[in-house]
Amino acid sequence: MTTKEVARAAGLSEAALYKYFRDKEELFLAVMGIRLRPFIGMVLELPDKAGSETVSERLRAIAGEAIAVYTDSGLLAMALFAEPALLARQRAALGSGGPHHANRMLSEYLRREQSLGRISAEASPAAAADLLLGACFQRAFFAAFVGDGALPQTEARFIEETVDAVLRTLV
Amino acid sequence: MTTKEVARAAGLSEAALYKYFRDKEELFLAVMGIRLRPFIGMVLELPDKAGSETVSERLRAIAGEAIAVYTDSGLLAMALFAEPALLARQRAALGSGGPHHANRMLSEYLRREQSLGRISAEASPAAAADLLLGACFQRAFFAAFVGDGALPQTEARFIEETVDAVLRTLV
Amino acid sequence: MTTKEVARAAGLSEAALYKYFRDKEELFLAVMGIRLRPFIGMVLELPDKAGSETVSERLRAIAGEAIAVYTDSGLLAMALFAEPALLARQRAALGSGGPHHANRMLSEYLRREQSLGRISAEASPAAAADLLLGACFQRAFFAAFVGDGALPQTEARFIEETVDAVLRTLV
Amino acid sequence: MTTKEVARAAGLSEAALYKYFRDKEELFLAVMGIRLRPFIGMVLELPDKAGSETVSERLRAIAGEAIAVYTDSGLLAMALFAEPALLARQRAALGSGGPHHANRMLSEYLRREQSLGRISAEASPAAAADLLLGACFQRAFFAAFVGDGALPQTEARFIEETVDAVLRTLV
DNA sequence: TATGAATGAGTCTTCATTCAT
DNA sequence: GATGAATGAAGACTCATTCAT
């Protein structure tokens, strides 16, 4: 992502970009913020949703959103690895709220469902959350890396099978 | 990764790099190849290991190696997203053998264990493979992104809990 | 000719050059075009000038312009021999219109003068054209190579004597 | 011409080149010297040949050699224009003996033929020499620039017609 | 507000040259 | 006598950024 490309995509001159953002980093973070906000909102509300809908429906919804956001922004975030200064500053700014926070929220949701007796008392909420979101994260990476079509399953089928497997963990 | 950094790290001049590698791309691929080869070897032999050792031990070993290789090379691969020309050429060169191949091999291993009756006939080998490797992949990303220490569990504990959860999928 | 030199001569940074020209080749060709255009124009109109002025005056004028343009651009063109890729592309792009085209036009002019009976029917227009322009071309080369002052004659005297000799060919 | 190319062509390592030549400049000049020596020899003997053979035969022979040497070494010399430091040093080293010396020798040969009454007393030996060698020089340049095949005449025919025209100057 | 024109710092890459072996 | 390994300097080109208008 170069400033020239961003400017062309925005229909602005490069100079105009600098009226809206101090530098490329600020612009980058703004874009990330916009793309992430809906998902973050959804994830933050997640624990309070325990008890409503079925767990299966809930996980399916989360998986879909996760793949979407990981595809959009996860890949942008990966590009951070090419600019270590930015990465370091991000790490610092994140504080406790890194991308693994989503896993924590999903884990907490599952813990509450456990309290409600809707899933097995022996299940591990944290592990289930890591498995589900991890699988979605990797799927987004694969799709970007080799192309959506090169993957063995459609996204819908992937979600269905993956959530079903996670549910087996929870019974 | 700039050629200057690579040169300094190698204790060479930039010019010397070009005696060993035609260009930066060749160097990059050579590094990737070296780092990936052991893991690729392990993964290719995996299906034939069905029946030996316990499934639990096998999965634990795979998880450990996967986290290691995803940490090393997965992150290098992510940097590819900052150089789209390289990414495109890699995608083309990969053919069927992309990074998702590991998931296929693990899935095949589990299918054979299923044939041997060592795991439930109702389990989904493909889903279990995606869950385990996905969780490892994401853990490697998190560790690189926020730092190893910021994660709630040690790697050993993560492997144990994650493999245990996957095994619940398989019984 | 390095981009740094061009930039300094133009009173610009190297980067600024690339706002005006895609690459060094485009810049090079633009310069050549500007320098050559007046001479090309003069040469293309030459055949239609048959019958007007004396042949001697006409040849003197052409010789003067030829030395000037060969000095300016011929030497630039010679520098092409140090960059074979550029040379090859130029060769291809030139099609029929290479630098020998000027010789053809001068030859055609003389042929028409021949039709008008102003020069001998036995003269060879093509040979006369090659002799005159060849002598001018080589003189430009010598002047650039050893310095103007090292040559035995002034340019004016060179033109006079050379044209006179060519005219002896034509009577 | 890079040192790597020279080394490969010579079947040597680049380092070995430096056992034989102090630097690239010395090598370049050695090559030029070897290629030019036979032509220089021929040209130096030229004045003493006045009276033997016909003038026509003599000029034809000179023209052939000139085209050959201009093709070989003239083009090498042109590449000098891309390396001004070398060019300047050459200019200085040349003293009186630059490439225009050949024209002087041919002129002197024609002057002697004039003394012998074998060509017209009114002819200009200097101009005739410049015309003939100039035409050969330019032909060599054209051949190198646009390719031998793109020129209207074969070399043999070019020599014949050009020498004939020069002879018309001399009667 | 928006931009055209400009640039310093840096990128990958190649070159002529050196020297220990 | 020959070379493999190495490099400082330079080359073309790109990037994020500034500023007068």
Tell me the nt nearest to B14, Cα to C1'.
F7
Could you give the residue ranges of the DSSP H alpha helices within chain A? 3-10, 14-20, 24-45, 55-69, 75-79, 84-94, 101-115, 125-146, 155-170
Q: Which of A91, A131, A151 sits opposite B145 (nearest CB)?
A: A91
CA of D72 vs C1' of E17, distance in Å?
27
Highest mean pLDDT among A34-38, A83-87, D55-59, D79-83: D55-59
Q: Which of C90, C120, C122, C138 to mutate to test the interface with D (most CBs of D within 10 A)?
A: C138
Report the distance from CA of residue B43 to the C1' of nucleotide E16 in Å, as an integer: 48
* Single-letter residue type at A154: T
The arithmetic mean of pLDDT across residues D51-56, rounded, is 95
Give SS3 for C25: helix
Token pair of A32 as six digits? 């990330």
Predicted confidence (pLDDT) at residue B36 exceeds the cutoff of 70: yes
pLDDT above 70 as % of chain B = 98
Name the pLDDT band for C73 (thresholds 50, 70, 90): confident
Greater confidence (A61 vs C83) lies with A61
pLDDT category, D14, cuts 50, 70, 90? very high
Q: Residue C138 in contact with residue D134, Cβ under 8 Å? A: yes
Contact D70, D136 (CB under 8 A): yes
What is d(CA D111, CA A13) in angstroms, rounded to the nearest whole number? Answer: 72
The model's pLDDT over C95-117, given as tens digits with 9 standing for 90+, comes to 667 889 999 999 999 999 999 99
Burial (CB < 10 A; 0-12, 13-18, 19+), residue D19, is exposed
**Residue D80 pLDDT class (50, 70, 90 cuts):** confident
Question: Which pLDDT score is estimated for A124?
Answer: 95
pLDDT grade for C89, boundaries at 50, 70 and 90: confident
Question: Do D130 and C158 lie within an 8 Å CB cutoff?
Answer: yes
Question: Are C146 and D104 spatial neighbours (Cβ–Cβ below 8 Å)?
Answer: no
Q: Inter-chain contact B127–A75, Cβ cutoff 8 Å? A: no
Q: Letter for the amino acid at A118?
A: R
Q: Which residue of C has its CA nearest to D146?
A: C91
Chain D residues whose CB is inside 8 A of the C82 CB are 79, 81-83
Chain C nearest-CA residue for D92: C146
Residues 6+ apart with CB under 8 A from A19: none
Nearest CA in chain D to C79: D82
Q: Cβ contact (<8 Å) for A147 and B91?
A: yes
Nearest to D145 among C91, C104, C146 (CB): C91
pLDDT in tens, A84-109: 777 888 777 766 678 899 999 999 99
Read off the pLDDT of each residue in B158-170 and give the average, rounded to a whole number: 95
Q: How much is the pLDDT for D27?
A: 93
Per-chain mean pLDDT for chain B: 91
User: Residue A60 and residue A4: Cα distance in Å, rounded?
Assistant: 39
Burial classification of residue C49, based on how many CB atoms lie within 10 Å of its CB (0-12 exposed, 13-18 middle, 19 or more buried): middle
Residue numbers in B near A87 (CB within 8 A): 145
pLDDT of residue C95: 63
Q: How many contacts, defined by CB atoms under 8 Å, are there between A and B?
A: 134
Cβ-contact A54, A43 below 8 angstroms: no
In window 8-37 of B, residues with CB < 7 A from nucleic chain E are: 14-15, 18, 23-25
Residue A74 has what pLDDT? 83
Share of chain B above pLDDT 90, in %: 71
* C2: exposed, middle or buried (Cβ count in 10 Å: 0-12, 13-18, 19+): exposed
More confident residue, C144 or D167: D167
- Chain D interface test: which of C122, C145, C159, C164 (most D C-beta within 10 Å): C145
Q: Give A155's pLDDT tier (boundaries 50, 70, 90).
A: very high
Q: What chain A residue is nearest to B139 in terms of C-alpha separation? A: A134
pLDDT of residue D95 exceeding 70, the answer is no
Give the pLDDT band of residue C86 (cuts 50, 70, 90). Answer: confident
Contact residues for D30 (Cβ-Cβ < 8 A; gap 6+): D21
Question: CA A100 → C1' F18, Å?
Answer: 39
| The Cα angle at residue C104 between residues C102 and C108, in degrees rounded to 5 | 115
Chain D touching partners, 3 or more CB pairs below 8 A: C
pLDDT tens figures, A48-60: 999 999 999 999 9
Name the residue with tokens 């053919």: B95
Chains C and D touch (3+ CB pairs under 8 A): yes
Chains B and A touch (3+ CB pairs under 8 A): yes
All residues of chain A having their beta carbon less than 8 Å from the beta carbon of residue B91 are 145-147
What is residue A50's DSSP assignment? T
pLDDT category of residue D94 using cuts at 50, 70 and 90:
low
Q: Which residue would you say has higher pLDDT here, B82 or B165?
A: B165
Name which of B42, D114, B133, D136 is nearest A135 in CA terms: B133
Closest CA to D71 of D145, D164, D154: D145
Mean pLDDT, range C41-68, rounded to an integer: 96
Nearest nucleotide from residue A7 CA, by C1' atom: E3
pLDDT at C28 over 70: yes
Give the nucleotide at minimum CA-to-C1' distance from C18.
Answer: F13
DSSP C118: S
For the ranges B89-93, B144-148, C108-112, which has the lowest average pLDDT?
A: B89-93
pLDDT in tens, D128-163: 999 999 999 999 999 988 888 888 899 999 999 999
